[in-house]
Amino acid sequence: MEDTIIEASCGRGSRGQARFRHVDFRSRADLRRFLLYPNKEYFSLPSLKQGIALASILVKEGRPLSKISESNQTHIQQAAWIRNAIAHQSDYSLRVFRDKVSGVTSLPQRSRRPGPFLRTVFRISPMQRRYEIYFTAFKSATEEVMKAWL
């Protein structure tokens, strides 16, 4: 049997296609509570792995998010830690950045902050800066997601 997709809606919906399992939320507020759990004003996922877990509730095997390669998942998670270190600039977020983002501790002291880290050269031939690695991972992950929908 083809992949089963859960169709989530508010109110009555079409149940005509066998590929779909139908989930009814009594109201938009219930759907919103599900998506914004636990009581947040915005939709937030601390990690891609948690995003895949949430998608697995609605869609078989968490597709298409589960089709993102492990390498891209790692780079996306590192990009989130870098983003948090830039946005929050707290001791905790900087410590997570230094401890969990690969390559930070091998750099000179002046390059161990998020901005300088992203500008450092990762590879000389062809020349590639670290920020390009993360952009490439996001682009590649987007392509993987798009292909998984087909």
Sole residue written with tokens 């995003």:
51
Lowest average pLDDT, out of 38-42, 94-98, 128-132, goes to 38-42
Percent above pLDDT 70 for the chain = 75
Which structure tokens are listed for 86? 């830039």
pTM of the model: 0.71
Contact 66, 82 (CB under 8 A): no
SS3 call for 6: strand
pLDDT of residue 110: 93
pLDDT of residue 4: 41
Q: Domain residue spans in the chain?
A: 5-67, 70-149
Per residue in 13-43, pLDDT tens?
Answer: 445 544 445 566 777 777 777 766 666 666 6
